[in-house]
Amino acid sequence: MNLADTPAEAQFRKELRTWLAEVLPTLPPPPDDPNDWPARRAYDMGWQARLHEAGYAGIAWPVEVGGRGATPAEELIFLEETERVGAPYVGCGFVGNLHAGPTIATVGTDEQKARWLPPILRGENVWCQGFSEPDAGSDLASLRTRAVRDGDDYVVTGHKIWTSHAQVSDFCELLVRTDPDAPKHRGITWLVMPMDTPGIELQPLQTLTGVSDFCETFLDGVRIPVANRVGDENDGWRVAMVTFSFERGTAFVSELLGTRRLVADLRAVAESHGVWASDVSVRRELATVTAELDAQWALTKRNVSKAQREGTPGVGGSVFKLAYHHTRTRLGELALRVLGRAGLALDDPLGVSPAGLDHVEQRLYALSLSIAAGTAQIQRNIVGERLLGLPKER
Ligand SMILES: Cc1cc2nc3c(=O)[nH]c(=O)nc-3n(C[C@H](O)[C@H](O)[C@H](O)COP(=O)(O)OP(=O)(O)OC[C@H]3O[C@@H](n4cnc5c(N)ncnc54)[C@H](O)[C@@H]3O)c2cc1C
């Protein structure tokens, strides 16, 4: 991959900058209350609709399914430029745009693509992910939510957990067990569940920062049409691997760029607290974190360019996620050192952050990076077995 902009890429960057400069001042302010989910949905989908009108929705999705079909370099320019000016992030559109949609675009039938993908791109539908269960997280293939075929429907009963954004979702990418007698990876099916179907009950779960980011999802005799099955019956594990390759592949890249702003802000806080001048170890640690983020950005470019060649992202995303989690932990620990007593409370009580960022909340949030989209230990297993060729876990 050539890291300098070609004339066409420079033009793409220029047009994007012009559009962002025009559109950002016209956006409403983001909702104040992080627990006001309808307002959060409206804000995130409003941004998605703007992207769609301007031809930037589904930046890396294939043109045949309504995406922009951007090259890897253009996708990274898009992420860089939107992050540079603090444009909204994908928010509630995370699952639809970053992994359910791309899975359907890769594995779905033409009819399924035509039905589900355009409303995601237009910002009309929010999707959630119903994979994890109380006894099936890392060992996802042990999932027990049962789907029994009845005519043209599957009748689904079970219990999902950690379903992010479920309370404002229209559809759920759902893994169910269709053959309880088959070996565990072979009896699973990937379904699309409309969230207004009778028999679905949601119970919000609160996180450490006081926000109900996810729900427990109880399913009791939920009828899902067979036409909503993506891939074959009992072939859902293969489809789920496609989902994971997108989820772990590039879905966290914008975060990396956002973290650069966090670093710049922490430096300003360290300067205003006097520790920047007085404590060489703070300067050294911030430089190390900066270098690690630069390396991860280079790794991202490599991963995205490989994904373009091979059709779906590979296990490079696991390396990225492991490294990124490590760096965010390091940065969070440094932030607490720099903040001193102010690090004991949320909400920046001393008003120390010039950019209004909450470094304590960010430190707490970083804890979830070792769990979400597959835990750090599971990513290590993947890297060990699939990249390094080490013996398989028994
Ligand atoms: C912010 C966030 C958002 C999420 N959103 C969703 C969502 O929208 N939809 C969804 O379905 N799920 C979601 N999840 C759930 C997530 O996928 C699971 O939490 C994750 O897969 C881990 O499963 P678990 O919590 O059951 O932990 P467990 O699997 O019980 O793991 C417990 C501990 O044991 C370790 N461990 C387990 N097996 C092994 C092994 N073989 N080798 C070494 N160590 C092992 C783990 O690494 C971990 O430290 C979300 C999680 C978070 C944190």
pLDDT tens digits, residue range 81-102?
A: 998 898 998 999 999 999 999 9
Which CA distances in Å does 174 have to 118, 208, 214, 236? 20, 26, 15, 10
Ranking 78-82, 304-308, 330-334 by mean pLDDT, the lowest is: 304-308
Instruction: For residue 72, report the distance from its CA to the centre of ligand 1, in Å.
Output: 30
Per-residue pLDDT, averaged over 168-178, amounts to: 98
Q: Which residue has the tokens 């102010």?
A: 342
The 10s digit of each residue's pLDDT in 342-376 is 888 877 666 777 777 789 989 999 999 999 888 99
pLDDT of residue 350: 67
Which CA distances in Å does 240 have to 80, 125, 377, 381? 29, 21, 19, 18
Please report the DSSP string for 177-192 in residue order: ES-TTS-GGGSEEEEE
Contact, 157 vs 146, CB < 8 A?
yes
pLDDT of residue 1: 53
Instruction: For residue 217, report the distance from its CA to the centre of ligand 1, in Å.
Output: 16
Binding site membership of 131 for ligand 1 (Cβ less than 6 Å): yes
List the catalytic residues. Answer: 247
CA 385 to chain centre: 24
* High-pLDDT (> 90) share of the chain, %: 73
Ranking 55-69, 150-164, 309-323 by mean pLDDT, the lowest is: 309-323
Q: Does position 282 have pLDDT exceeding 90, yes or no?
A: yes
Average pLDDT of the chain, as a whole number: 92
pTM assigned to the model: 0.92
Binding site membership of 365 for ligand 1 (Cβ less than 6 Å): no
CA nearest neighbour of 112 among 65, 80, 148, 149: 65
Binding site membership of 137 for ligand 1 (Cβ less than 6 Å): yes
Binding site membership of 163 for ligand 1 (Cβ less than 6 Å): yes
Strands 171-177 and 188-194: what pairing? antiparallel
Ranking 198-202, 253-257, 259-263 by mean pLDDT, the lowest is: 253-257
N-to-C CA span, the chain: 38
Choice from 94, 131, 138, 213 to test ligand 1 binding pocket (greatest atom count within 8 A of CB) = 138
Per-residue pLDDT, averaged over 113-141, amounts to: 97
Residue of the CA atom closest to atom 7 of ligand 1: 163
- Between the CA atoms of 242, 362, 263 and 271, what dihedral angle is there, to the nearest 10 degrees? 180
